[in-house]
């Protein structure tokens, strides 16, 4: 069935939710779609609680009730000391509490939501409201619904706990102009070390986390359409079997951007499988040639074809990005976590800045899946980023969420902005690397 579109405005939803705590509303029943009958209501809403029931009449009034207990067709009264009726008058919410909680709700199969004997929406399987103030709820009928009992719509929402924060904890400008600014900043970036034409960023992550997809996504943004140059997909073992360096071009026939993304085999938790610390050390130091075929049985050594014995600064890695699947953080195998910890210690010793790309954030959080702009309003994603920060051993400021392109055929502004922001953060970390390198060179000169 097609997605239900709520008639209850976002402002009205927010006003109701403000009375109930940190919650959101999920539409269960819409009379114009499912039918103005008690049976249709009970089929969709029985045993679901708490709920908010809303009536809309032909005069434009919006009114209804809240029930913390589930509806049924038992024919019995149900005690609910939290139930209340409400109406919107002049845009403001007016509440009418229950005067006798023992008779707060009536479970009647021939009606929609029934509050006491005072208010029933979809009454007697008809497109009408039953209104009788004083029967366990006191309200002014003219104020609540203008004495117009003809319904134009009836909706019932389930009240769910929400992870949405009141304000985003990081500031993002979701506008096409911002995307253009980020793209221009990347195009015009120049490493502070003149002998290095392009910054080199190494992507490290578990099999299937989205390393190759990240390159494809960045490439897509600059190509202006979704593309797939690097092999990416779903597999239990790494689809990347070579060390590959990918240069992104500014358009189909444009110049290469000043950043190279280096892709590797995926990390695996079993011993002797996937990428190991020794191979990563060779990559970071600039010894490993492009298109080197990984072979755990015959690791890279000085006599390997293409081995760079005296790599220059331009051949080395200037930033490491750990790519982690947000939907699998809680089930990360301990052996894999140990391997990542060993890698992080080695990268630290080599003085390389590190950050985390948290991928598949839309799969991890329904709030973000609904709207990517909720990424920094999701309390769940924030907690997840804090957990990753602790488990990987980097500050929270070094954890950057992204959504790669996977099943899409067209670009999305919001996804682009997160992806480009991640690249900007990488380039800032590259600058830190060159600043540190410059300081070390200056110190060495002073000692001489």
Q: Which of 12-16, 101-105, 231-235, 389-393 has the highest mean pLDDT?
A: 101-105
Give the model's pLDDT for residue 230: 61
Give the model's pLDDT for residue 117: 94
Which CATH superfamily, name and number, covers 176-447?
A: P-loop containing nucleotide triphosphate hydrolases (3.40.50.300)
Average pLDDT, the chain: 89
Q: Which is nearest to 329 in space by CA: 422, 400, 391, 402?
A: 391
pTM for this prediction: 0.68
Q: What is the pLDDT of residues 295-326, one digit of tens each?
A: 666 666 666 776 788 889 999 999 999 999 99
Q: Which is nearest to 357 in space by CA: 400, 416, 414, 320?
A: 400
Give the range among 108-122, 272-286, 393-407 with minimum mean pLDDT. Answer: 272-286
Q: What is the secondary structure of 224-258 as a DSSP string? A: TS----S-----SS-S--EEEEEEEESSTT-PEEE
Check residue 290 and report its DSSP letter: T
- Is 72 within 8 Å of 46 (Cβ atoms)? yes
pLDDT at 397 over 90: yes
Q: What is the pLDDT of residues 339-385, one digit of tens each?
A: 888 889 999 999 999 999 999 999 988 889 889 999 999 988 999 99
Categorize the per-residue pLDDT at 273 as very low, low, confident or very high, splitting at 50, 70 and 90: low
Segment 177-199 shows an average pLDDT of: 95
Categorize the per-residue pLDDT at 34 as very low, low, confident or very high, splitting at 50, 70 and 90: very high
In this structure, what token pair is assigned to residue 152? Answer: 């134009």
Percent of all residues in the chain with a pLDDT value above 90, rounded to a whole number: 62
Domain boundaries, the chain: 10-161, 176-447
- Is 174 within 8 Å of 158 (Cβ atoms)? no
Give the model's pLDDT for residue 236: 42
Query: What beta strand segments (E) does 162-234 contain?
Result: 199-205
């Amino acid at each position: 069935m097609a997605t239900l579109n709520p008639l209850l405005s976002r402002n009205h939803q927010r006003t109701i939710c403000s009375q109930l705590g940190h919650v959101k509303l999920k539409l269960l029943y819409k009379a114009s779609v499912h039918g103005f009958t008690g049976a249709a209501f009970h089929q969709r809403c029985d045993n679901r609680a708490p709920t908010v029931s809303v009536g809309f009449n032909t005069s434009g009034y919006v009114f209804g009730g809240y029930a913390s207990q589930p509806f049924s067709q038992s024919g019995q009264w149900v005690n609910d000391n939290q139930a209340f009726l409400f109406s919107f008058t002049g845009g403001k919410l007016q509440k009418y509490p229950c005067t006798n909680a023992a008779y707060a709700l009536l479970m009647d199969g021939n009606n929609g939501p029934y509050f006491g004997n005072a208010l029933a929406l979809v009454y007697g399987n008809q497109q009408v409201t039953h209104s009788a103030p004083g029967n366990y709820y006191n309200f002014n009928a003219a104020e609540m619904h203008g004495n117009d009992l003809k319904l134009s719509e009836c909706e019932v929402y389930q009240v769910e706990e929400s992870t949405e924060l009141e304000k985003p904890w990081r500031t993002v400008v979701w506008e096409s102009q911002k995307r253009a600014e980020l793209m221009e900043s990347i195009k015009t970036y120049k490493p502070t070390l003149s002998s290095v034409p392009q910054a080199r960023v190494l992507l490290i992550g578990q099999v299937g986390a989205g390393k190759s997809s990240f390159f494809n996504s960045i490439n897509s943004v600059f190509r202006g359409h979704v593309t797939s140059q690097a092999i990416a997909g779903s597999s239990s073992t790494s689809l990347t079997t070579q060390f590959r360096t990918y240069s992104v071009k500014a358009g189909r026939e444009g110049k290469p951007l000043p950043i190279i993304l280096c892709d590797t085999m995926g990390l695996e938790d079993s011993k002797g499988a996937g990428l190991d610390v020794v191979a990563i050390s060779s990559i970071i130091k600039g010894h490993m040639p492009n298109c080197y075929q990984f072979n755990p049985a015959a690791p890279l050594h000085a006599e390997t074809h293409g081995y760079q014995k005296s790599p220059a600064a331009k051949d080395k890695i200037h930033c490491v990005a750990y790519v982690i699947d947000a939907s699998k953080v809680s089930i990360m195998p301990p052996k894999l976590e140990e391997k990542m910890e060993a890698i992080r210690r080695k990268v630290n010793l080599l003085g390389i800045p590190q950050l985390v790309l948290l991928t598949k954030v839309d799969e991890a959080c329904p709030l973000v899946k609904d709207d990517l702009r909720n990424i920094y309003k999701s309390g769940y994603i924030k907690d997840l980023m804090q957990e990753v920060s602790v488990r990987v051993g980097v500050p929270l400021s070094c954890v950057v969420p992204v959504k790669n392109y996977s099943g899409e055929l067209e670009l999305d502004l919001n996804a682009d902005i997160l992806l480009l922001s991640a690249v900007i953060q990488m380039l800032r970390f590259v600058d830190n690397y060159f600043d540190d390198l410059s300081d070390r060179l200056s110190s060495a000169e002073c000692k001489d």
